[in-house]
Structure 1
Amino acid sequence: MARKAGWCFIILLLLVPLITGCWNRRELNDLAIVAALGIDQIKGKYLVTVQVVDPGEVASRKGSSGLSPVSTYHATGDTVFEAIRKMTTVTPRKLYFSHLRVFVIGEELARKGMGEVLDLMSRDQEGRTDFYIVVAKGTTAERVLKVLTPIEKIPASKMFDSLEVSARSWAPTVAVQLDQLITNIVSPGIQATLTGIVIHGDPEQGSKRKNIETPDTPTHIQYKGIAMFKEDKLIAWMNDDESKGFSNITDRLKSTVVETTCPSGGKLGIEVIRSKTTIKAKVRNGKPEAEVVMHTEANVADVECRIKLTTSKTLIDLEKAAEDVLKEHAEQAVKKAQRLKCDVFGFGDAVHRANPRYWSKAKENWDEQFSKMEIRYNVDVKIRRIGTIGESFLNDLKE
């Protein structure tokens, strides 16, 4: 018995060298880490742009060497995969997409349809799906990825962080990842949305090192507007107010600013600190209808008028004013969506949950039914705090 155990031990020792290590390992020196990917469609071909990180420049402790922390490469092809492989003729290393942070889609491609592009992104076994997807509004993805940004050395990191921060603190943006986007594209009860990104200034100037050598960056990128899709095609853009309404209805609203007017003139800013929205749908007399219920808590943030904040009547009036603004934003967003017959809010999903039998018949022409759907709004705002002071010192200023 002991002899048999000894032979087993020897066999295990011989097998150890065969099972250790990573059979498909890749050395860091052999890879070009892609932080951002952009795809445009030009003359029937795909133009693919990648933003590659220079590890030596980013990790340098000796200060900047004057070189750009990133490099951009681009190539065209009949397919996205062909264009990516073509880039190996100009990149010194093989492109590595597992650390992708942002995927930018050119507006022209988004309007023609981006389904084929998304297929590659979801099929690739090397990539992850935790990157954000945005649309280059009024420009190309190539131009967006060439703009150098201050503070963050890697522009892709700036775009990633900025979208996360703005989605939490400023309602007119939505942070969407690949899995959620594909789900919304293929689901019959909801359509997809993406945040737009624009370039302010000269794109050519933005690609030069001088762009970040002055306090006032001449060319910069900014998130603006929400793109509405019907299946995989972009059909329209929401403005800021409509985007706020969309974020509120879809329960994405974490924090934002609501601007109201004072009875005596002037403006007053209210900060939303938390919000919860539910959609209650039902079918009555063979027709779908829904109620959007919003519960919002807020603080007084900015007083630019003469007003008595310490009276209960004033606070009640401010709550009512904020409710009116939130309701107006929601109504604007829904009216645009109904006019375009594009349910980006998920009212179809709510009807499906409320009445599956009705939904089994209605889903085939849901966009048409959504355009005529009656939607009511129940908005409740509670002001919790008025700040560290009571009355504004503006009340004591002489007329």
Structure 2
Amino acid sequence: MKSLKNINAKAGLFIVLFLFLCFNLGCWDRQEIDKLQLTKAIGIDYCPLEEEITYTSQVTRPGQIAAGEEGEESPILGPVWIPQGKGQSIFEASRNIANRSPREIFESHIQVMVIGEEMARKGISEVADFMLREREHRLINWVLVTRKEAGEILRAQTELEDSLSEEIMGIMESQLLLSTAPRVNGRNFLIPLSLPGADTLAPLVEIQEKMPTPDEEIMGESSPEKKKKYLVIQGTGVFREDKLAGYLNIPETKGLLWVKGEISRAVIIPKAPDGGQVTVYITRSKSQIEPEIKKNNIKFYIEVKTEGDIASSNIKGNISDPQVIEELEKKLANNIKQEILQAVDKSREYQSDFLHLGATLRRQEPDEWQTVKEYWRKELTEVEVEVRVIAEIRRGGLISEPLISQ
């Protein structure tokens, strides 16, 4: 009987505790959104003269966005606010923005991080520490580098979107169709920094000026201060250890992406056999890297297989002729091979293993890696690389001959 009473008492206590927890649950550290400063993009710069870091934020103005949706957007205030803070460390510079902000800084919604050239050349170890240590930071945001100051990029005009962060996100998604810049998020940017035999990289973002139209010239809107500027993301910034080593142009960037198997779509224009021009739209590709050790010499075999369709042609003959297709496939393969070799040459020039050849050697030939890892960067300039490309043209489109004979 006593045991039954004990069981009932315990059950009653459990029910009371359960109800107590149900009615007292809540977020002890919750933050009201109307009290927060929602940061969408950040730029990090270093000034050698002042030996200070400048932290630029792009902050959403919720009130302005809401007003814009109702057709009452203010002619004075835009949808974003771009404050700056300075300090001896990135964290101090970011917190010094609070001197100008009536709201609490909230960075969980950062979509874009831009690193200025001076900061990148000084070294990104502090940037990496800041990205990993701050609990609000998520590693899914895009990371980019620029030849200019990151703050200047964040203040650039947008073409279509209300904010620069949205504009950059859209352009980065478009890279799936272009392959003129790598798509690098925080996680992909940081991993090579701790990976033996690998160096990191980031897409290059730049500001270009629009050529004035005749009407703008007549209206006097072609002066330097009135010229419209827009963002372009193409090319790559590559690092040696934690410092920016240099840049890759578009063909070199494509070569890098071919090697890493990161090209899903691209446009290649090989010369046709008759001297004409054919545009091939790449629809699929894959790559493989194999190291070979012979008499203590290291050689890498890079093989790329790709498929594409003919997007346009101005050749005289029948584009569906098997001999013409075979010749075009050879030209296409050679174009891709040259892009890869250009990327390899840049890797040697910068002594930057952004192709991750060392990581491949470490993974597939661990014993050999142990013998060369201490002087791998010097070895990288001397290793032999052989490239093999297999290109196949799958479809020629709806017409086989030009509409107008030449």
TM-score w.r.t. structure 1 length?
0.91
Contact 1:282 1:354 in 2 (8 A): no
Tell me if 1:52 matches 2:62: no
Distance in 1 (CA, whole Å) between partners of 2:307 and 2:13 is 72
1:123: Cα distance to partner?
A: 0.6
**1:261 counterpart SS class:** coil
Shift of 1:365: 1.0
Q: Map residues 1-399 of structure 1 onto 2, 5 A cutoff.
A: 1=5, 2-18=8-24, 20-42=25-47, 43-59=50-66, 60-63=68-71, 64-66=73-75, 67-137=77-147, 139-166=148-175, 168-201=176-209, 218-394=228-404, 396-397=405-406
What one-letter code is carried by the residue in structure 2 that aligns with 1:174?
P
Identity %: 28
Change (3 A) 1:9 1:389: same
Instruction: Give the Å deviation of 1:264.
Output: 2.7
| Contact kept in structure 1, 2:266 and 2:281, CA below 8 Å | yes
**Distance verdict in 2 for CA 1:82–1:392, change over 3 Å:** same
Q: Deviations over 1:95-142 (max 9, x none)?
A: 1110100000001111111111220111101221110110112x1100
Deviation, 1:5, is 2.6
Q: Which amino acid aligns with 1:187?
A: L
Provide Cα deviations, 1:60-86, integer angstroms capped at 9, x if missing partner.
432233331111000110011111111
Mapped partners of 1:272, 1:7: distance in 2:
68
Task: Report the Cα distance in structure 1 between the residues aligned to 2:126 and 2:360, rounded to whole angstroms.
Answer: 29
Secondary structure of 1:264 counterpart = coil
C-alpha spacing 1:5/1:82, structure 2 compared with 1 (3 Å): same
CA–CA distance in structure 2, aligned partners of residues 183 and 44 of structure 1: 28
CA distance in 2, matches of 1:183, 1:153: 32
C-alpha contact (below 8 Å) 2:291/2:360 kept by paired residues: yes
Which has the larger displacement, 3-12 or 95-104? 3-12
Instruction: Describe the SS at the equivalent of 2:318.
Output: coil
Q: Secondary structure at the match of 1:33?
A: strand
The 2-side partners of 1:307 and 1:372 are apart by 45
After superposition, the Cα gap between the structure-2 partners of 1:339 and 1:85, relative to the gap in structure 1 and judged at 3 Å, is: closer
Distance 1:256 1:11, change over 3 A: closer
Offset from partner CA, 1:207-263 (integer Å, 9 cap, x none): xxxx9xxxxx92101112111100111111111111111110111111111111223
- Taking the aligned partners of 2:127 and 2:363, their CA distance within structure 1 comes to 32
- Aligned residue pairs, count: 381
The alpha carbon displacement at 1:190 in A equals 1.1
Shift of 1:3: 4.8
TM-fit CA distance, 1:4: 4.4
Instruction: Quote the offset at 1:150 in angstroms.
Output: 2.6
The residue type equivalent to 1:178 in the other structure is: G
User: What secondary structure sits across from 2:69 in the alignment?
Assistant: coil
What SS does structure 2 have at the residue aligned with 1:392?
coil
Shift of 1:289: 0.8
| In 2: Cα distance, 1:376 partner to 1:363 partner | 21
- Give SS of 2:269's match: strand
Query: What one-letter code is carried by the residue in structure 2 that aligns with 1:26?
Result: Q
- For residues 303-356 of structure 1, the C-alpha deviation after alignment (integer angstroms, 9 at most, x for no partner) is 133232121000000000000100011111101211222211011122112211
Equivalent position of 2:214 in the other structure: none
The amino acid that maps onto 2:360 is A
Structure 2 CA distance for partners of 1:30 and 1:314, relative to 1, 3 Å: same
Question: RMSD between aligned alpha carbons?
Answer: 1.8
Could you say which residue in structure 2 is the equivalent of 1:208?
none
One-letter amino acid of the counterpart of residue 48, structure 1: Y
Provide the C-alpha distance between the structure 1 equivalents of 2:182 and 2:237, rounded to a whole number of angstroms: 10
State the alpha-carbon separation in 2 of the partners of residues 273 and 236 from structure 1. 30
Alpha-carbon distance change, 307 to 91 in structure 1, aligned in 2, over 3 angstroms: farther
Matched residues in 1 for 2:17 and 2:44: separation? Answer: 53
Offset from partner CA, 1:2-32 (integer Å, 9 cap, x none) = 45433432333234343x1111100001111
- Runs of 5+ in structure 2 lacking a partner? 211-220, 222-226
Q: Secondary structure at the match of 1:126?
A: coil
Contact 1:39 1:105 in 2 (8 A): yes
Q: CA deviation at 1:56?
A: 2.6
Change (3 A) 1:15 1:300: closer
The verdict on how the C-alpha distance between 1:15 and 1:273 changes in structure 2, with shifts beyond 3 A counting, is: closer
